[in-house]
Chains A and B, each alone.
Chain A
């Protein structure tokens, strides 16, 4: 244990190796590995075993010998004795001397590990020879270079040492080297290496033909123990050997491994194949989606570590390509070529049962376009490689592919975050919006980097424009034809199937907006409040995602336009307009085309004029231009547009134009930098190229809808009708109706019969507005008994209802009618009070005069009573009349005028609905029906109630009056009056009731 601290580190290393070796775990971070390491350490440190006792070991050795003898395993026993003896007398790697503790220690360990040596079938191998043979076998591989040529120059070499390889080199100091350092004096044999088609005549079936082919075409390096290709022995091309030799010499325990030799050309070709998506390789191996480098592949002129690091770098990209390719295959259903987007409809039919996810398809199409160009490049390189006209090294190829590789990296990154990271059960809408968002964010991210990532931005922009296509097509279809065609449910807005178009709830509940963002959620709710319930659970499931951000600024317009259009379509469906529509349709360009055109025109405007000037002597000007661009950027800080800058980017455009045909990302760069705002230009582009089209369409659609609703569906007339009946604007008709009721009440007859009420209503309305009479009806509701105590509340059982036809009921909903009804009841109550005051007759005075025989003493108070009653009546009349006037004229009429004015100006249906609601809220508020000012209303109600009681008393006649009740009524009225005056004065002073007197 004395060595402990000194060897601590060394021991730990060995321990790790041991664990790897025995358990086969490779990952040191693995939990199990850590456990094993911990366990091992604790065992090494805290064990209860005695130190090794050499005597004991000796005894064990002889014991085993005896045992073997007993088993009459003579041969084994003999080898045992000999081997142990030999071992104890040989040196150990780090310990000098013989029969040391270390020797015994090793033996003791073996003893404890041994498993029934007597039963074991053991024959001693001819050791020395075997060891050498093993050496030879391994080292032959390294030595073959020379031997292949000279055919067994060194048969079984007993001891292989450095001297000999030096010998090798000295014998053949100059030879052809793979990397082409010394091309002269190439030994003729080496020509085989170069895969050149040598014109040789041979016939098929000739026995030598196959052998010739094997020699002259490509060495089948993928076959294990394949024949080795010949190559030179120059030091440069034998670095691997030299290094291995060094390892062998320094580390006695170094175990040479079996290697598979390849040439650099083969590595390059495999690399190219890997990039082009070939799945089976020799050098690169694929295990469930992971590309790894084969362990034992070596080239002769590099150490295996060096080669490995390069190949691993390649494998990373290979894996990215592989994943993208697999995604492409998955989406296209393993067909080799996805259809061009133009034939998306044919795609639909092909897939059959499951509607295709068009956003992914479009994305894949864009990816595929990129890969086509990438593969073209790869093919070019490979063709050059086959021609073998010039030297091609792996690093040169990698350099040449550099831009592509970085683009692949960008693509893969986008793919990972946008597609691969999305859990499989996610609905399409979230996937699509997530993908689009990822692209969008990536563009903005790279865009903000500026010049450094032009290519990435160009690539991403082209990807984005392709990917966004289905969305724009959906939007287009929706806002132009009113038909939300989205079979794969990928659009952020979806139609709720169970709501028919001609339903009252259509406007609110038809569409579900999948808003998936915390920050914008409240906004969304505003847009589409009724669908919030279904949108809500969506947002909880995937909160980290955001709604498709590029559509956000115009989302409201899209929704409005779409809904309007669908409504309009349904309104129009009876009318025969189809032929006209279709002809218009043919001329119309869809949104996507419009978008592309505007992008192009926007970019071209800054690009065309300078391009012409630049083409002739572009090369000479290039440096100048570059300098100029830097200056231009400074100029642009002050909003000066410099054409030379555009020249510079036009050049970029020219270079890249082959890469994207439809419209190049280079275009975009022109746009971006001439704007000189890095971050927002993408949004600016959208704003100028996409949003106006949507905006225009929105105005058109909603304008049409409003026009149709107003003109063909008499929206305004219906609104007027609501005011007529509910707000009593049709005074004459409604007067007939309510006086009939009031008369009944005064005559103490039961008036609460639906048939009576409806007949009265029909009679009153039918005379003047025959078209409305069958829409109006009256219902009686059961009132809760707690509120029944006052006579004025008796009226509250009445419910007036007006059947509003579709589609006007979108605006005048039942909720609206409820509010109307509340106002109606209030008005009715006031009217009742007014009516009952108005109809009081002065019968009492007559009575008084007719009965003069009464006692004079009595007369005096009676007169006084009458006088007081009259005074009270006048006061009450004054109050009721002014209240009546105030509400009918100042509130209802003026607010109604305002409302009519706003309705005329409403742009879309939503706005109209909002205006209507606001109007209702205002009158509801001003009629003091709001919860907050209910105390005022209570006071007014009290007065109205008083009026009714008063009139009741009056009607009852003179004899029934009592001085106390008159007192009470007077004081009640006074109190209420005072209360109202103070409250309203305060309120007016505060300015909270601007509409008050």
Chain B
């Protein structure tokens, strides 16, 4: 039983590797961690397009937040 599980685990791990390769090829910008989170979410039935929309939005938002903070600190230094 244990070996079966471990075999399964290894298979899944391989799948994830393949998926990471695909993701890299498609230039999605996802790393292993976020990719595995996405996979789990997809498996839980989240709509993939909604998911991708969310990811894009989040990226945009955090980017602008960072820019703001940088400007803020620059202002401080001035």
Q: Which residues of A contact B (CB under 8 A)?
A: 1-4, 7, 10-11, 14-15, 17-19, 21-25, 32, 36, 39-40, 43-44, 47, 49, 51-52, 64, 76, 79-80, 83-84, 86-87, 90-95, 102, 105-117, 119-120, 122, 124-125, 127-128, 130-131, 159, 161-162, 249, 252-253, 255
A120 close to B9 (CB less than 8 A): no
Query: How many chain B residues touch A (Cβ–Cβ < 8 Å)?
Result: 56
Q: A21-B34, A253-B40 are in contact. Are A90 and B11 (CB under 8 A)?
A: yes
Interface residues of B (CB under 8 A from A): 2, 5-6, 8-19, 21-34, 36-59, 61-62, 65
Q: Which residues of A contact B2 (CB under 8 A)?
A: 162
Contacts of B56 in A (CB 8 A): 113
The reply to whether B15 and A44 form a contact with Cβ atoms under 8 Å apart is no
Residue in contact with B21 in the complex, picked from A19, A25, A127, CB distance below 8 Å? A127
Q: B18, A127: Cβ atoms under 8 Å?
A: yes
28 A-B pairs with C-beta separation under 8 A: A14-B40, A18-B34, A18-B38, A18-B41, A18-B54, A21-B31, A23-B58, A23-B59, A36-B61, A44-B51, A49-B49, A76-B25, A84-B22, A87-B22, A91-B8, A91-B12, A93-B12, A102-B42, A105-B48, A106-B19, A110-B19, A110-B30, A112-B48, A112-B53, A113-B56, A131-B13, A252-B16, A253-B39
Residues of A within 8 A of B10 (CB): 159
- Interfacial chain A residues near B62, Cβ < 8 Å: 22-25
Asked if B51 contacts A109 (CB within 8 A), the reply is yes
- CB of B30, distance to nearest CB on chain A (Å): 7
CB nearest to B5 among chain A residues: A249
Q: Are B25 and A109 in contact, with the CB atoms below 8 A?
A: no
Known A-B contacts A106-B48, A109-B52; A18 and B24 likewise in contact (beta carbons under 8 Å):
no
Inter-chain CA distance A76–B27, complex, in Å, is 12
Distance (whole angstroms) from the CB of A103 to the closest CB of chain B: 9
Chain A nearest CB: distance from B10 CB in Å?
7
For A21, what are the chain B residues with a Cβ–Cβ distance below 8 Å?
31, 33-34, 37
| Smallest beta-carbon distance A472→chain B, Å | 43
Q: Which of A18, A39, A161 has the most CB of B within 10 A?
A: A18
Contacts of B51 in A (CB 8 A): 44, 109
Q: In the bound complex, how far is the Cα of B44 from the Cα of A10, in angstroms? A: 8
Contact of B47 among A10, A47, A124 (CB under 8 A): A47
A39 touches B40 (CB 8 A): no
Contact B45 A3 (CB under 8 A): yes
Partner of B28, one of A15, A19, A44, A115: A115
Query: Are B45's CB and A110's CB within 8 A?
Result: no
Query: What is the minimal beta-carbon distance from B65 to any residue of chain A, in angstroms?
Result: 7
| Complexed CA–CA distance, A2 and B45 (Å) | 8
Candidates B12, B15, B26, B53; contact of A110 at CB < 8 Å: B26
**B71 → chain A, closest Cβ, in Å?**
16
Whether the Cβ atoms of A113 and B28 lie closer than 8 Å is yes
Count chain A CB atoms within 10 A of each CB in B13, B18, B29 and give the residue with the most.
B18
Instruction: Specify the chain A residue showing the minimal Cβ separation from B44.
Output: A7
Cα A22 to Cα B38 with chains together (Å): 11
C-alpha spacing A23/B10, complex, angstroms: 30
Which A residues touch B17, using CB under 8 A?
A: 127-128, 130-131
Cβ of B40 and Cβ of A115 under 8 Å apart? no
A78 to chain B, nearest CB (A): 11
Pair A93/B43 contact, Cβ less than 8 Å: yes
CB atoms of A114 and B44 under 8 A apart: no
Closest 3 CB pairs of A and B: A109-B48, A114-B26, A112-B52
Inside 8 A of A24's CB, which chain B residues have their CB? 62
Q: Are B29 and A115 in contact (CB under 8 A)?
A: yes
**Is the pair B45, A1 in contact by a Cβ cutoff of 8 Å?**
yes
Q: Interface centre among A19, A102, A105, A108, by most B CB within 10 Å?
A: A105
A91-B11, A94-B40, A255-B33 in contact; A110/B47 too (CB < 8 A)?
no
Q: How far is the CA of A21 from the CA of B37 in the complex (A)?
A: 9
User: Judging by beta carbons under 8 Å apart, are B48 and A22 in contact?
Assistant: no
A84-B52 Cα distance, complex, nearest whole Å: 19
A434 to chain B, nearest CB (A): 29
Query: Which listed residue, B5, B14, B40, B58, touches A22 by the CB 8 Å rule?
Result: B58
State which of B16, B23, B43, B46 has its C-beta within 8 Å of the C-beta of A94. B43
